[in-house]
Structure 1
Amino acid sequence: MGPSIEPLASYLAPLEEAARELANTWRPEDPAYRAEVYRQILMNLSYGYFVHFNADAEHPDWSPLYNPVFMCQPNPDDIYIFSPLRDDLTYRVSGDRGTVSKLIFVTQRGIPGTLASVGEYGAASSIDDQDFTVGPDNQLEIIFSAVRPAGYEGNWSQLKAGADCLLVRYRMIDWECEIDPQLTIECLDEVPLKRRLAPEDVVERLAQQSTIPRNQNRLFYKMQNDILDAVGQNAIHPVRLPGLDKQLYWPAVYSFDEDEALIIETEMPAIARYWNVQLNDPLFNAVEYVYRHSSINGSTAVIGSDGKLRVVIALNDPGLHNWLDPAGLTEGTLYGRWYDCSSLPIPTITKVKLADLEAHLPADTAKVSPQERELALRKRVAAAQRRRRW
C-alpha cells in the first residue's frame, strides 16, 4: 500500500502566506494591488515547478529563471537560466558561446525563491567573458568543481562549499544583432540513471514548490521597502548583491504625479562595458519590457553632448529619445546597473512639472517623432521575441 496522499489544497497552504504579504506592499487596501499580488503568486508558483521538478544535482538541466514571463525584476537585457548542482560533484558547461555582450556564470547557495532573504544566500563565485577563453570556432567549455581537476588547464570556476545552483545570464546590449548561446551542462561523475519520482517525492516537492511565491514576496517586497526606508522616494541607494562582484546596482523608489516627470541624470564612466536603467512595478516585477520602452541601455540611449546621460520617466511619451515608459504607473522602483565600469557615479533624480520638462534639459536633447518611436518599438518587440526563454 502506497503513502497517503492528502487533498491538493493541503499542500498549497503557503500560497495564503504569500497573499498575506500584501500587508507589506505600499497600498494593502487597494484592490488593484491585491489583484496584482494574486497574479504574481501564480507566476511564481509556475516558476517553482521548474525549481523543484525539472532537474536535480546529479542530472542537471537548464530551467528558466527570469525572463519576460517570470518577471520578478529581471534585467530586460538578460535571459536567465539555472541548473541545480552539488559542491562535491564536477560539471562541464559547453557549447556555442553565441555573440551576447556578456555571458555571466554565478554559482551560489540558494536558487531564488527557495530562501526568504538576501542574507541567506552564500557560497557565491562568478566567472564571465573577461575571465574565460573561447575557441576559434566560438566553442566554450568551463569546468565547475570544488578543486581544479588534475592536469586540466582550461576554463575553470570553483564550487565553494554549500553551492547548490548555477545561474547563467545571457546579456545583450543590442537585442537586434546579438545571438544567445547554446549550452549544455553535464555531470562528469558517475551517477545513477534519473529515476521516476515516488509519490512521497512528488508531494514533498509540491509542498516546497508552494513556498516559492511566499519566499519571493518576502524577499522582494523587503528589498524595495529597504530602499524606501534608507533614502525615501526619488533618491538612489546603491547596493551590491552576492555573486556579482563587478556589478553595482543603483535602485530607487520612484513616485510622481500625472502632471509631473522625473529626470535621471548621471556622469558616464570613461569605460562603461555595460550599463542600463529599467522600471519595476510596485511589487518588484519588471514593467512590461517587450511591448513597452521601459528600459534603456548603451545601445538604445543617446548620451548628451556634455557627456551626461539623462533619462526621463513620464506617463506619456514626451518625444524625447531617452524616455522610459512606466506603463501607466506613477510609482515603483527603478534599477540601474554599472557592470565592469571604470567608475561608479551615483545618478540624481529630479521631479519637475511635465509642462516645464524641456526647460530642465539641454537644448540639444535628442528627440524622436511618433513615427520613429513606433518603428523602434516594433523592432524591440521582434528582437525580444527572438530571444530564448525556455
Structure 2
Amino acid sequence: MNLECSTRTRSFRGGPVTGSDEAAEAVRTGQAWSEFCRALEKAGDVVLSDNTPNTAFDRAEGFRYLTRLTREMLYSCVDNADPDQPRLHELDLVKIGADNPDNVYLSANIRGDREYRITGERGTISYFSIGSKANRYAKDGTMASTGELSDADLVPEPDGSIEIIASATRQGRNWLPLAPDSTGLVVRQTYLDRTTETPGKWQIQRIGEPDRAEPLDPTFLLGALRRAALAVHGTAATFAGWTDMFAERPNELVDFGQEMFQRAGGDPEICYLHGYWQLEPGQAWVIDTDVPPCPYWNFQLDNWWMESLDQRRRITVNKHTARLDADGRLRIVVADRDPGVGNWIDTCGHDRGTALLRWLGAEQHPIPTCRVVPLDSLDDLHDEEDR
C-alpha cells in the first residue's frame, strides 16, 4: 500500500532551496533525527498495548512489524517521495493490513494536480487493477479511492502494450481519475497459479516532468522524517484497532461492512470477510462455505498484526489451488497439523491471529459457517473420505 509521504506543500524543485532557518537548524543539530527516533519509540506503544497479546512470540512479531513499516515508510517518505519523479515500488518487504499472498503490489507517490503516464505490458497474471488513493493512514486511518481501473477496462495498443493516463481530466484510451487530494497509486497484480503466470512490467512518468532534481532541502527532510514516523504509528494503530474489532467475534468470518475496508484502500471489486481466530492445543477451526462464480477468491491466515504468515508454508488457498467437495463446497481446516481433510491451513506456531476470505468480482458473497472442533475428531472424516 502507498502511504501519504509525498510532499503536499510546495515542490522541492525549481532552484536551490535552503529551507527555513528553523528546519535547517533542526537538521544541523540533529534535533530532527532525535525527534524522529522518539516518535518511533512512541509507536512501540501499539505493540505494548493492553489489548495486544503479551507473549514474547507475538510481541517479537509486533516489533518486527514496526521495523518493516519503518523501512517502507522511510523509503516512501524520503527516497521515493517526489511526485514529480515517481517510481513504482514493489511492496515486497512489508506486510500491511492482511496483504494478499497472491498479490504483487506496486506503489508510487503522486499529486492530484499533476498528470502521469503509466506504461507497461499486461503479462499473463490473472488479475490487474490500479487505483489512485487519498492516503491518510497517518492522520485518521483511511486511504480513500479517488479513481479505479481494472484489467477489464484496459484497451491495449496494437503491439499489446498498455498506456494509462492518470489525471484530473479524462485523457487517452485508459484513464485513471485523480482528485485534488490524491497522494498515491496502488497496483494489484494477482496470481491464480504462480507456476505458470507472469506479472506485468510497469513504469510511471510525470507528463511534463522537470529535467533534473535539485539538492536536498532540509525543510523537506524534516517534514519527511515526521511523515515517516507518523505513518509507522498510524498504520500500526489502525490495524491493531481492526484486530480488536474482529476479536469481538472470534472464530468467525464476518461482513463487518465493506465501506470501512474501501475507505482503507481496498479494491472495490473485492468483498472482504475478515475474522479473528484463537485455538487451544488440539483444536481446529473448520470453515465451510459455498463458492460463488467469480474470477478469483482466496483465504489466508495472518498473525495478530494482520501480516500474512510465512508464505513458504500452507497459509493460503485460492480458486486454483483449492480442493472442493463433491457438491462444490469449500472446506478449510486451520490447525497446527494436516488432518487430511479439506484444505489444510498451517497455523505456523501461532495460537491466535486474523484471517481473510476475499471474493473478487462475485455477485453473491456467501458468509461461511465456522466452528472449532477437536482436531482428532477430523480423523474420522478422513477415514470416511478414504472409503
Q: What's the TM-score once normalised by structure 2's chain length? A: 0.85
1:191 CA drift (Å):
3.4
Alignment of 1:59 onto 2:88: no
Contact 2:138-2:232 within 8 A present in 1 as well: no
Distance 1:365 1:117, change over 3 A: farther
Map 1:349-360 → 2, pairs under 5 A: 349-359=370-380
Deviation of 1:24 (Å) = 3.9
1:49 maps to which residue? 74
Give the secondary structure class of the aligned counterpart of 1:264. strand
Residues 115, 305 of structure 1: alpha-carbon distance in 2 compared, 3 angstrom cutoff: farther
- In the aligned structure 2, how far is the partner of 1:341 from the partner of 1:114? 32
Return 5+ residue gaps in structure 2 as ranges: 1-20
How far the C-alpha of 1:365 sits from its partner, in A, is 8.2
In the aligned structure 2, how far is the partner of 1:29 from the partner of 1:326? 18
Task: Output the amino acid matched with 2:216.
Answer: L
**Number of matched pairs:** 354
Aligned identity (percent) is 25
Match status 1:117 vs 2:141: yes
| 1:155 paired to 2:179 | no
CA offset digits 1:334-383 (Å, max 9, x no partner): 101000013111112111111111446794489xxxxxxxxxxxxxxxxx
Checking the alignment, whether the CA contact within 8 Å between 1:314 and 1:323 is kept in structure 2 is yes
What's the offset of the Cα at 1:84? 1.0
Q: CA deviation at 1:277?
A: 0.3
Q: Secondary structure at the match of 1:110?
A: strand
In structure 1, the residue matched to 2:281 is 258
1:128: how far off? 0.6
Amino acid at match of 2:232: P
Work out the CA distance in 2 between the residues paired with 1:344 and 1:360.
Answer: 27
8 A Cα contact 2:131 2:145, kept in partner: no
Which residue matches 2:129?
Answer: 104
Alpha-carbon distance change, 345 to 165 in structure 1, aligned in 2, over 3 angstroms: same
Residue range with higher mean Cα deviation, 320-329 or 174-183? 320-329
With over 3 angstroms needed to count, the CA separation of the structure-2 counterparts of 1:338 and 1:28, relative to structure 1, is: closer
C-alpha separation in 1, matches of 2:227 and 2:366: 41
1:29 & 1:185 partners in 2: Cα distance?
43
- Where 1:211 maps in the other structure, the secondary structure is helix
Match 1:143 to one of 136, 158, 165? 165
Structure 1 stretches of 4+ moved >6 Å: none
Counterpart of 2:227 in structure 1 is 208
**What is the CA-CA distance between 1:41 and the residue it aligns to?**
1.2
Taking only aligned residues, the RMSD between alpha carbons, in angstroms, comes to 2.2
Cα distance change, pair 362–191 in 1 and its aligned pair in 2 (3 A): farther
**Is 1:6 aligned to residue 27 of structure 2?**
no
Residues 243-263 of structure 1: CA deviation (Å, up to 9, x unaligned): 522110011101111211111
Q: CA deviation at 1:50?
A: 2.0
Match of 2:104 among 76, 79, 84: 79
Match of 1:345 in 2: 366
Distance in 1 (alpha carbons) for counterparts of 2:150 and 2:383: 37
For the structure 1 residues 136 and 348, does the alpha-carbon distance in structure 2 shift closer, same or farther, using more than 3 Å as the test?
farther
Checking the alignment, whether the CA contact within 8 Å between 1:144 and 1:156 is kept in structure 2 is yes
Give the match for residue 93 of structure 1. 118
For the 8 Å contact 1:77–1:171, the answer to whether it is kept is yes
Question: Quick one: structure 1 residues 137 and 302, their matched pair in 2 at CA, closer, same or farther if it must change by over 3 Å?
Answer: farther
2:291 corresponds to: 268
Look up the SS of the partner of 1:18 in the other structure: helix
The alpha-carbon deviation at position 155 of structure 1 amounts to 1.1
Q: Give the one of 60, 65, 70 matched to 2:94.
A: 70
User: Which residue, 334, 337, 355 being the options, matches 2:355?
Assistant: 334
Give the TM-score normalised by structure 1: 0.85
Quick one: distance in 1 between partners of 2:51 and 2:373? 23
Q: Does the CA contact (< 8 Å) of 2:53 and 2:59 recur in 1?
A: yes
**Matching residue within 321, 346, 355 for 1:325:** 346
Change (3 A) 1:360 1:334: farther
Q: 2:11 maps to what in 1?
A: none
Contact 1:12–1:207, Cα closer than 8 Å, also in 2: no
d(CA) in 1 for partners of 2:386, 2:36: 56
Contact kept in structure 1, 2:331 and 2:343, CA below 8 Å: yes
- Provide the rounded CA distance (Å) in 2 between the counterparts of 1:360 and 1:352: 12
2:251 equivalent in structure 1: 234
Deviates more, 1:328-337 or 1:130-139: 130-139
CA change 1:245–1:253 in 2 (3 A) is: same
Which secondary structure state, in structure 1, belongs to the residue aligned with residue 162 of structure 2? Answer: strand
